[in-house]
Amino acid sequence: MTSRAAAVAAVAAALAAAGAAVPALFPPATPPPIRARLDLNSASARDLDLLPGVGPKTAARIVADRAANGPFRHPAEVRRVKGVTRRAAERIARFTEAR
């Protein structure tokens, strides 16, 4: 191999290594923010589980409370559900509505 061919091979290897590092340098874009609000009175537990700070147990409690006590009149009423703190209710209210 000539020195010129060795240099070209070295540059090609360096470019390949740099190309492999590009995804690590530029993380994937974050998903767009949620624009639509979720209806507390018709959402399933699976839908509610997607809300920030709501896990599967809390989502199931929200659905069970809605079935036992009737629909929510305002998103802040989610506070009546056992285990939902004031702070969690405020967070949930930002992404929901009660129709």
Structural domains present in the chain:
38-97 (1.10.150.280)
Give the pLDDT score at 9.
81
Give the pLDDT score at 19.
62
Give the pLDDT score at 15.
65
Collect the ranges in the chain with pLDDT lower than 70.
Answer: 1, 15, 17-35
DSSP-assigned letters across all residues of 44-84: -HHHHTTSTT--HHHHHHHHHHHHHH---SSGGGGGGSTT-
Give the pLDDT score at 71.
94
Give the pLDDT score at 27.
64
Rounded to whole angstroms, what are the CA distances from 98 to 37, 45, 68, 81, 89?
Answer: 9, 15, 16, 15, 13
Tell me how far apart the alpha carbons of residues 30 and 92 are, in angstroms, rounded to a whole number: 21
